[in-house]
């Protein structure tokens, strides 16, 4: 039991059975309650006596629950899901009881008022001050009845968010199409056919099975010549967990969305905010909803003419290949064909140069050149699946400074998308010394029997994106876990490191170093790279307006100014910014896990907001010659290592020497010269 709660040890996944989770959680909660009771009874005013015991108890809880949550995301089973759901309820109930404990709040307020507080290291002071702020944000100042209601809302929201994500996963796994006629898969590469064949074999079937896992959907919508197959996959994917489509009502998230929105509005108003957006922005860089809306609408106005040209190009080209009525399920297919025609960039040919192991070797080389670190595999680290790998992160002096788990491939029981999550924090508390550990998770095509997992260029970009998040966690020099790495960092700036790292995928030397044809070993040819670079901004206008659509939908839905029906709001947003409309039966909101089961509620705009920082920040590397160690060290020291000990804007200025220039982001997308 004790080992499951040890933040200095790697998670013991084999011991985290469904039966073991709740007893271990109860033990951690009991310990946490005892610490709180002791602090309230003693009322210490010394940092070591008041804060550190509380932080240690928090960290032990996190050590357990980060591992449980990770397993729920990558190795889900009905038993694990049930234990996770019950444990999440207990954890949130406890967290709210602690956050609304006025006596504990007063202990920390008194700590900030003690004369010695001003002499503490900056990180210590910021950790306590942030905790005091978070007490207020959790309703500690509310009267008893309102405080209890706020707590109940928080527990219910947590359960609804978990259920929302589970419904999306269930809907994703419930739909398949069994293909027995190879002609239906015309246009699809051998590597993707092998993936479909493996899916069929896993189900005891012959032929091929198309699923709704991302690599499968991407392969069909981009390459399948059969228009009917594309339409069926598009409909099944676009109606997941909704009242429409082939699974109509089976996993419907509609009622959950309504309940989540109503509870978020009520919680915000209890705290004195007019709406959930104001509540969300209280701890972000952006000052208010008006400025964010202006930013998004200005970006849409700049991008829409380019998006309209992009769509007109697609329609003209579609007509030349026999598609006179371009539909949403045709867009990826036609775009791939147009890119091939205009730039001679064949996505299937590009993928052959990026077998996953070659990509990972080049990726490690980039990290060494930029930051002086090496990744050394360890076979003795506990794992949850054969796909998973663990690496010690080693500096130039040979010291282990961090740890990194990789889980790169799509499979059953694993939710879609790509993400970084903290596994262990940096710890430096007396004799307790431990390095930070992160999870880096993707959903690349599975490794085949004869053909390796081949990555698209977009997959390579995704890998670098999540690497930026990992480096933010792994390079921290902050000893207080609550404000180290990405923890406590303003949410609308947290994509700065990730989006900055993406741009290295467009450097010829870097990309060539990550390549090697899966049959010949040949590096990515210069001529092919140059064609890829020429096509970089292909359909960039459509991409930007789509991102603005998501961000506006999120904000306007939570503001409530257009009503609370998600379908009505998304349609109104599309009236304003979209250039291509999904069918009326499409149910994008029902699987929008970022805002209903993740951390981006009233904050999806963060991707575009932070891209302003990232695009301008990357220019610092360009000015220094790109893969420049001195600039890498500067970025590490001024941004990645600092965590939330200072505002993100200050960290950016320390790196760039000035405030961000929005022009770099516009140039990045071809919207300015």
Q: Tell me, what CATH number does 12's domain have?
A: 1.20.1050.40
Is 501 in the same domain as 395? yes
- Does residue 249 form part of some domain? no
What DSSP string runs through 317-375? HHHHTT-SS--HHHHHHHHHHHHHHHH---HHHHHTT-BHHHHHHHHHHHHHHHH--EE
Region 181-207: mean pLDDT is 96
Measuring CA to CA, how many Å separate 186 from each of 193, 227, 291, 314? 10, 11, 48, 21
Q: What angle do CA 379, 385, 389 make, to 5 degrees?
A: 35
- Write the CATH number for 309: 1.10.1370.10
592-599, long-range: CB < 8 A, 24+ apart: 592/550, 593/164, 593/165, 593/168, 593/415, 593/417, 594/550, 595/554, 596/161, 596/164, 596/253, 596/256, 596/257, 596/260, 597/161, 597/162, 597/164, 597/165, 597/168, 598/161, 598/165, 599/491
Task: Identify the domain boundary among 209, 238, 267.
Answer: 238
CATH code (residue 521)? 1.10.1370.40
**Residues 360, 457: one domain?**
yes
pLDDT tens by residue, 22-50: 999 999 999 999 999 999 999 999 999 99
- Among the candidates 604, 624, 657, a domain finishes at 604
- Per the structure block, which two tokens stand in for 383? 């794992």
Inside any domain, residue 458: yes
Residues 222 and 360 in one domain: no
Q: Are 196 and 213 in contact (CB under 8 A)?
A: no
Residue after which a domain boundary falls, among 79, 111, 137: 137
- Answer for the pair 156, 93: CB distance below 8 angstroms, yes or no: no
| Residues spanned by the domain of 83 | 2-99+101-137
- Is 289 in contact with 492 (CB distance < 8 Å)? no
Confidence category of residue 8, pLDDT binned at 50, 70, 90 = confident
Q: In terms of domains, do 642 and 507 share one? A: yes
Using one digit for the tens of pLDDT, what is the confidence trace for 241-289? 999 999 999 999 999 999 999 999 999 999 999 999 999 999 999 999 9
pLDDT band at 411 (very low <50, low <70, confident <90, very high): very high
Q: Structural domain tally of the chain? A: 4
**CA-atom Rg of the chain in angstroms:** 25
Residues 597 and 617 in one domain: no
Catalytic residue (choose from 55, 177, 347, 466): 466
What's the rounded Cα separation, in Å, for the pair 487 and 425?
Answer: 10
Q: Tell me the mean pLDDT in the region 343-355.
A: 96
Same domain, 89 and 232: no
Residue 337 to residues 221, 313, 323, 529, Cα–Cα distance (Å): 12, 12, 12, 18
Angstrom distance (rounded) from CA 214 to CA 219? 8
Indicate the pairing of strand 419-424 with strand 437-444: antiparallel
Run of H or E residues at 405: strand 400-409
- 396 classed as catalytic: no
Is 205 inside a domain boundary? yes
Please indicate, yes or no, if residue 49 is contained in any of the structural domains.
yes
Q: What are 501-530's pLDDT values in tens digits?
A: 999 999 999 999 999 999 999 999 999 999
Instruction: Let me know whether 419 and 457 are in one domain.
Output: yes
Does this model's pTM top 0.85? My answer is yes
């Amino acid at each position: 039991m004790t080992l499951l709660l040890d933040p200095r040890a790697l998670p013991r996944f084999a011991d985290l059975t469904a039966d073991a989770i709740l007893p271990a959680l109860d033990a951690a909660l009991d310990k946490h309650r005892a610490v709180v009771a002791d602090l309230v009874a003693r009322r210490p005013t010394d940092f070591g006596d008041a804060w550190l015991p509380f932080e240690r108890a928090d960290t032990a809880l996190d050590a357990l629950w980060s591992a449980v949550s990770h397993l729920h995301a990558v190795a889900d089973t009905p038993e694990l899901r049930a234990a996770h759901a019950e444990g999440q309820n207990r954890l949130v109930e406890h967290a709210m009881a602690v956050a609304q404990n006025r006596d504990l709040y007063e202990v920390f307020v008194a700590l900030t008022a003690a004369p010695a507080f001003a002499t503490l290291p900056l990180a210590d002071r910021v950790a306590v001050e942030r905790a005091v702020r978070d007490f207020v944000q959790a309703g500690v100042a509310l009267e008893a009845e309102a405080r209890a209601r706020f707590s109940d809302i928080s527990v219910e929201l947590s359960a609804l968010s978990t259920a929302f994500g589970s419904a999306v996963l269930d809907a994703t796994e419930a739909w398949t199409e069994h293909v027995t006629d190879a002609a239906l898969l015309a246009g699809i590469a051998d590597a993707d056919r092998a993936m479909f064949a493996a899916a069929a074999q896993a189900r005891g079937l012959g032929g091929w099975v198309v699923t709704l896992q991302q690599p499968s959907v991407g392969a069909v919508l981009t390459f399948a010549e059969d228009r009917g197959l594309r339409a069926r996959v598009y409909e099944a994917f676009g109606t997941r967990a909704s009242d429409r489509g082939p699974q109509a009502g089976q996993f419907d998230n509609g009622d959950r969305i309504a309940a989540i929105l109503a509870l978020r509005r009520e919680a915000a108003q209890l705290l004195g905010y007019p709406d959930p957006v104001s509540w969300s922005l209280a701890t972000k860089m952006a000052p208010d909803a008006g400025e964010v809306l202006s930013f998004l609408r200005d970006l849409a106005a700049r991008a829409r003419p380019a998006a309209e040209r992009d769509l007109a190009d697609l329609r003209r080209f579609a007509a030349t290949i026999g598609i006179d009525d371009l539909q949403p399920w045709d867009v990826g297919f036609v775009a791939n064909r147009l890119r091939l025609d205009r730039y001679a960039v064949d996505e299937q040919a590009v993928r052959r140069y990026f077998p996953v192991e070659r990509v990972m070797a080049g990726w490690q080389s980039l990290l060494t050149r930029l930051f002086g670190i090496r990744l050394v595999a360890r076979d003795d680290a506990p794992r949850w699946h054969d796909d998973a790998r663990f690496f010690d992160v080693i500096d130039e002096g040979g010291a282990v400074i961090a740890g990194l788990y990789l889980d790169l491939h799509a499979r059953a029981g694993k939710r879609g998308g790509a993400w970084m999550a903290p596994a262990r924090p940096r710890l430096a508390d007396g004799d307790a010394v431990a390095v930070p550990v992160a999870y880096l998770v993707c959903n690349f095509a599975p490794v085949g029997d004869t053909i390796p997992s081949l990555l698209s260029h977009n997959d390579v970009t995704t890998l670098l994106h999540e690497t930026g998040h990992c480096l933010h966690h792994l390079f921290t020099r902050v000893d207080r876990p609550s404000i180290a790495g990405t923890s406590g960092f303003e949410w609308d700036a947290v994509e700065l490191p990730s989006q900055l790292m993406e741009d290295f995928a467009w450097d010829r030397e870097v990309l060539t170093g990550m390549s090697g044809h899966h049959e010949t070993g040949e590096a990515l040819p210069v001529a092919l790279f140059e064609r890829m670079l020429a096509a970089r901004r292909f359909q960039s206008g459509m991409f930007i307006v789509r991102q603005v659509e998501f961000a506006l939908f999120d904000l306007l839905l939570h503001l409530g100014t257009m009503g609370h029906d998600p379908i009505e709001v998304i349609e109104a947003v599309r009236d304003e910014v979209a250039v291509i409309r999904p069918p009326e039966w499409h149910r994008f909101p029902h699987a929008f896990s970022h805002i209903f089961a993740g951390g981006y509620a009233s904050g999806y705009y963060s991707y575009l907001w932070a891209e302003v920082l990232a695009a301008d920040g990357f220019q610092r590397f360009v000015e220094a010659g790109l893969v420049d160690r001195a600039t890498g060290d500067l970025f590490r020291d001024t941004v990645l290592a600092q965590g939330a000990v200072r505002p993100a804007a200050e960290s950016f200025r320390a790196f760039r020497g000035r405030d961000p220039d929005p022009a770099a982001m516009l140039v990045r997308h071809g919207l300015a010269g």
